[in-house]
Every structure is written in C-alpha cells, then in structure tokens.
Amino acid sequence: MDLNYNAEERAFQDKVRSFMKEKLPKALSEKVRLGGELTKADMEQWHALLNDNGMLAQNWPKEFGGAEWNAVQRHIYEEEAALANAPRIVPFGLSMLAPVLQNFGSQEQCDHWLPRILDGSDWWCQGYSEPGAGSDLASLKTRAVREGDHYIVNGQKTWTTLGQHANMIFCLVRTDPDVKQQLGISFLLIDMNTLGIEVRPIILLDGTAEVNEVWFTDVKVPVENLVGEENKGWTYAKYLLTHERTNIAGVGSSNAGLEAVKRMAKAEMSGGRPLIENPHFAARIAQVEIDLMAMALSNLRIVSQAAKGGAPGLEASMLKVKGTIIRQEINDLARRAVGTYALPFASEAVEGTNEAPFGPDYAGPVAADYFNNRKLSIFGGSNEVQREIIAKTTLGAMR
Ligand SMILES: Cc1cc2nc3c(=O)[nH]c(=O)nc-3n(C[C@H](O)[C@H](O)[C@H](O)COP(=O)(O)OP(=O)(O)OC[C@H]3O[C@@H](n4cnc5c(N)ncnc54)[C@H](O)[C@@H]3O)c2cc1C
C-alpha cells in the first residue's frame, strides 16, 4: 500500500492549504488556537467562506450541489483545516440531516431544504435524546399525533447541541405507541419558531452552555415535514448515526492536538530538561502517535469503502471508540504538560479577555478542553454501548 499522496492529491493539498492561508480570517484561527468559544457569527462566517469556495458540501453527491470529494480528499481537508486552526464545520444540517434527506427524503424536501443548508438559511440541531432515552434511544417518548394535515407534538428533548442558535430541529418522535418500540418512531422536521417550543440552556462543567433542553407543548408540524414514511424513522435515525460516528473519529483535530502537546512539552521543563525528553512522557506521546496513525489509516479505508457502498456500520462504532480515546489521551497529555497552569479553571481564557494570561497562552484553555472533551465518549452513542455493538456483531458473525 502506497501511503504517499500522488501528484493529484498533492495538488489538492496545495489548493486546500492556499485556501486556508488566504481565506481563513486570522482572528478566527487565533480564537480556535487559543480554545476560545466561537460565536454563532464566527461559525456562520466560516460556513459561508467554505460554501463560496466549494469546500462545504464535501461528501454530497454532485446532483445535490456537492463537491463529491473522495476519502483521501476529505482526509486532506481535515488535516489542513486542523493544522490551520480552522473552526469545525457545524455538522447537524450538513453531514447528519443532508444524507438522510438525500437517501430517504422526497424530491420536494431535497429541493427545499438542501440549498438552505448550503447557504446557511437554516441552522439545524439534533432532537434525538430525551431524559430516559439516551443509550436506549428507542424508548423515546416525545409524542406526535396526526390531526388532519398536521402532527401535534408534545414532549422533551435534551442535550441539544447549539439548539440556542437553531431555527430548525430534526426530531425522532413516537407516532405509534402500541407496537414494538423501534416500529413506532418517525423522523420530523420542526421549525423552532413554532408556538409551543421552549429552549432552556444547560450549563456544563466548563461553564459553557453549548447544550440545551427543548420542550414541546402542542406544537403544530405540517405533515409534509415528515421524512420518508410514518413509523419508519428508526431506519433513518440509525443511518444518520453511522455518519455521526464516523465524523467523530476526529483525525484532523487529534493531529493538531498532538502537535500542540509536542510544542508544549518542548517549552515546559521537567527536572532541568524539556519535558519532551522525559522518558515516561515521551513514551506516552509515542504511543498515542502510533495509535493515531493506525486509526487515520483505518479511517481512510473505512470512509473510502463507505463512499462506494453507503453508510459504514460496525466500523463507524470502532472509529468512534478509538477516535475518542485518542482525543481524550491527548487532552490528558496537554493537562500534564502544563502542570499547575491547568489547575485553575480559567473561563475567561475560553470567553476572551484583555487581562494577561496566568501562564503561557497555550495553557489557558487546557483545563476547559480537558473537561469539555469528556463528552466525546458519551455523545453519538456512548463508548460502552459502541463496544457492546462491536462485540455482538463480531461474536454473532463467528457463531
Ligand atoms: C455534550 C453533549 C452533547 C450532546 N448533543 C446531543 C444532541 O445534539 N442531540 C441529541 O439528541 N443528543 C445529544 N447528546 C446526547 C447523547 O447522545 C447521550 O448523552 C448519549 O446517547 C448517552 O445517553 P445518556 O446521556 O442518556 O446516558 P445513559 O444512556 O443513561 O447512560 C449512562 C451510562 O450508562 C452506560 N450504559 C447505558 N447503557 C449501557 C449498556 N447497554 N451497556 C453498557 N453500558 C451502558 C453508558 O455508557 C453511560 O456511561 C449529547 C450529549 C452530550 C454529553
């Protein structure tokens, strides 16, 4: 297997690198580098810049206005974006809902919603989880009852990421309570400005409010906002989750995070020598680097297979588990590298301040990142549950 990029791939890499150099606003990349909290305007600015330059809908088919990049091209983008400290692309409309609409939505839904995802007219959020329906998602209770040409929705979603910015939410709702759980779920598109919807922020351990509760009281949703068939939502929901899990592998972020840890470990001293020369620390860096390289190759292999034959299944769970372990290990190494500077929780380092930092600038967000990324092994299906899926599938196949 030739692991070097060929001439065409190198040309593509140059194109992405030039784009990052010329178009990524300095203020934005500096904010990302220092772990600052991005505003809605920041994220929208980056979304628009990518769209204007044909780099947004990377895996969408051309017929829907996508770039149809192959797995290597997407990998190159991830690498370059992370190294340039570009913001993460907000995934909810673009890489979660869009594949569902393209595969299961009607022509009218595709014509209406897909261009609006691209031009940023709509900000989508994901209404899957509920109190009591996280890992056991199929037990969700938010109810949608058909009345004429509307559904009436009642219930509560939770952990809705960036729901405070969203004007649209895609929701799993129960349309038939009298059948096996999985067979009574539907996939609805709901306008967040409809009467009866309330968004309540949840303040996290790191002081940010990136997740919310969303409450529905007698919310009227037009029937044309049903995706696919009524009571077939579980199929669409699972299809979406495999896309969510592959994206969670986060190879680009881990590469950039590892480079940052190495820079910190060269600057920080331990026993009169740079920390990077400490054998124990160096061994941990080497181990995570090896794991990351192995995962990057698996990621490429799996994503390119998926491009040929639909969504990855079991492999998405494997990437999710491995990718999140690696990112959390990198966060832990960063915390150890900056030592006591990671002890105070400096919310001002995340929110932005004119005050001088209490340590080197790279130390400011280390504690906040460490805490915030505890989420990685929980969302998108917890790692424990992913391990169970892997075990059941592989052991089942051996029988
Ligand atoms: C920061 C953050 C953002 C999120 N964003 C969104 C979002 O935008 N939209 C959305 O719909 N959801 C979102 N989620 C919700 C997320 O998908 C759920 O938190 C996740 O599915 C786990 O569900 P739970 O929190 O209810 O935990 P539970 O399901 O109650 O699990 C609790 C613990 O028990 C373990 N466990 C549960 N079942 C098993 C089992 N069968 N075997 C072994 N261990 C098990 C779990 O691994 C976990 O450690 C987000 C979560 C977080 C933390």
Q: Is the CB of 202 under 6 A from ligand 1?
A: no
Q: Is 208 in the pocket of ligand 1 (CB under 6 A)?
A: no
- Ligand 1 contacts CB of residue 211 (under 6 A): yes
Give the per-residue pLDDT at 356: 64
CB 189 within 8 A of CB 180: no
- The pLDDT value recorded for residue 354 is 64
Q: Which of 95, 125, 128, 135 to mutate to test the pocket of ligand 1 (most atoms within 8 A of CB)?
A: 135
pLDDT at 167: 98
Report yes or no: 188 and 208 within 8 Å, Cβ to Cβ: no
* Closest residue by CA, ligand 1 atom 27: 134
Asked whether 12 lines ligand 1 (CB < 6 A), one says no
The verdict on the CB of residue 126 being under 6 Å from ligand 1 is yes
Contact of 286 with 330, CB cutoff 8 Å: no
What lies within 8 Å, CB to CB, of 395 at 6+ separation is none
Distance 187 CA to ligand 1 centre (A): 20
Distance 314 CA to ligand 1 centre (A): 18
pLDDT, tens digit, 9 for 90 and up, residues 270-297: 999 999 999 999 999 999 999 999 998 8
**Among candidates 172, 166, 211, 229, which has minimal Cα distance to 193?**
166
Is the CB–ligand 1 distance for residue 375 below 6 Å?
yes
Q: What is the pLDDT of residue 347?
A: 63
Q: Residues 15-48: pLDDT tens digits?
A: 999 999 999 999 999 999 888 889 999 999 999 9
Look at ligand 1, atom 26, and give the residue with the nearest C-alpha.
Answer: 134
SS3 268: coil
Cβ(161) to ligand 1 under 6 A?
Answer: yes
Nearest ligand 1 atom to alpha carbon 383 = 47
What's residue 168's pLDDT? 98
* pLDDT digit string, tens, across residues 230-268: 999 999 999 988 777 666 778 888 999 999 999 999 999
pLDDT at 33: 86
Contact 192, 202 (CB under 8 A): no
Helix, strand or coil for residue 15? helix
pLDDT of residue 68: 93
Question: CA–CA separation, 94 vs 79, rounded Å?
Answer: 19
Q: Is 160 in the pocket of ligand 1 (CB under 6 A)?
A: yes
Residue having the nearest C-alpha atom to atom 38 of ligand 1? 135
314-338 and 279-309 are packed helices; what angle lies between their axes, rounded to 10 degrees? 150
Q: Is the CB of 324 under 6 A from ligand 1?
A: no
Query: Is residue 134 lining ligand 1, measured as CB closer than 6 Å?
Result: yes
Segment (H or E) for 274: strand 273-274
Q: Which two tokens stand for residue 324?
A: 């999140």
Ligand 1 pocket test: which of 125, 158, 159 has the largest number of ligand atoms within 8 Å of its C-beta?
159
Q: How many CB atoms lie within 10 A of CB 312?
A: 19
Nearest atom in ligand 1 to the alpha carbon of residue 372 is 1
In which residue ranges of the chain is pLDDT below 70? 1-3, 206, 245-247, 306-312, 345-357, 397-399
pLDDT of residue 61: 94
Q: How far is the CA of 374 from the centre of ligand 1 (A)?
A: 12
Alpha helices in the chain (DSSP H): 7-23, 26-33, 40-52, 71-83, 91, 98-104, 107-118, 233-248, 251-267, 279-309, 314-338, 347-351, 366-372, 383-398
